[in-house]
Amino acid sequence: MERVATGIDGFDRLIDGGLPKGRTFLVTGGCGTGKTLFSLEYIFNGAKEYSEPGVFVTIDATPKTIREDALAIGMDIKKLEEKGLVKIIDASVARIGIPSQEEYAMPVTGFDLDKLLLETMRATKKIGAKRVVIDSTPALGLTFQNSEDVRKAVLKINYVLSQSGATSMIISEIAEGSKALSKYGVEEYVVDGVIVLHYLEAGAGANRLLHVRKMRATKHSEDLHPLEITDSGIKIYKIEEFRKKR
């Protein structure tokens, strides 16, 4: 099985060297746990370290915010965009009916999943993207009559991403107190792997933790791993390393 290194410090060793190539993974967790930065660093490292162009679809936040947030942890996304190695697709403002100034964006009228996927594939082909991120499925605001329709929509996202040949991440979220791993409760079943980010309120020694909840075709760590967001990116520790460091 070919592996795709995320390049995120300390992470690839937890999943046998990297993500299984060509598959789709879910990054999920509560608010502010680092889901966006984690997936953004995956795209950033791909373009910068591994010559693998990447497409980042942002629905929650504007591209401007994304670039600023990335820069705050040492990732100059703009530079990679200028080199044609990264494309950010702006689905943020169309969602609320305002036209975007970005090169790749959704039309204001009739925002829907099919258009979003078409635009994603257009950008993916254009730069030969090997990595794609969709941030996030809850932001799509899927409102269907029944759970079967939502499942179909998520399956469609998964199918289109896998057809592109890219190794992809979709982002979802865990509501406070919820037992489901995602907004719709189907994302985790459809994807090939699930990475859960936790935030502990107090007293546990590590505030942020990462857990590989599932990873098909992979021998993976089943521990909770301290995660740090630093000025130079994200770092994932083994518990004993983290204890020593403190």
In the complex, the residues that contact Mg ion under the rule CB under 5 A are 36
Q: Does 62 bind ligand ATP (CB under 6 A)?
A: no
Place of tokens 């199918």: 159
Rg of the chain over Cα atoms, rounded to whole angstroms, equals 17
- Partner touching 32 among Mg ion, ligand ATP, none, CB below 5 to 8 Å by kind: ligand ATP
Q: In DSSP terms, which residues pair with 203 in a beta bridge?
A: none
From the list ligand ATP, Mg ion, none, partner contacted by residue 72 (C-beta under 5 to 8 A by kind): ligand ATP
As measured in angstroms, the least distance from the Cβ of 12 to ligand ATP is 19
Partner that binds at residue 34, options ligand ATP, Mg ion, none, CB closer than 5 to 8 Å by kind: ligand ATP
The one-letter amino acid code at 55 reads V
Least distance from Mg ion to the Cβ atom of residue 195, Å: 14
Amino acid at 242: F
Q: How many CB atoms lie within 10 A of CB 164?
A: 19
What is the distance between the alpha carbons of residues 93 and 120, in angstroms, rounded to a whole number?
Answer: 16
Q: From the list 6, 24, 28, 33, which residue makes contact with ligand ATP (rule: CB under 6 A)?
A: 33
What values do phi and psi take at 72, rounded to 5? -65, -20
Does 28 bind ligand ATP (CB under 6 A)? Our answer is no
Alpha carbons within 13 A on the beta-carbon side of 157: 31
Question: What is the token pair recorded at 99?
Answer: 């036209």
Q: How many residues bind ligand ATP (CB under 6 A)?
A: 15
Decide which of Mg ion, ligand ATP, none touches 53; Cβ closer than 5 to 8 Å per partner kind: none
Return the number of the residue (41 or 102) whose C-beta is nearest ligand ATP: 41
Q: Is 118 in the site for ligand ATP (CB under 6 A)?
A: no
- To the nearest whole angstrom, how small is the minimum distance from the Cβ of residue 38 to ligand ATP? 6
Please tell me whether residue 36 adopts helix, strand or coil conformation.
helix
Closest CA to 160 of 242, 77, 57, 243: 57
* 74: partner contacted, choices Mg ion, ligand ATP, none (Cβ within 5-8 A by kind): none
Question: Which amino acid does the sequence have at 214?
Answer: K
- Give contact residues for ligand ATP (rule: CB under 6 A): 29, 31-37, 60, 69, 72-73, 173, 229, 231
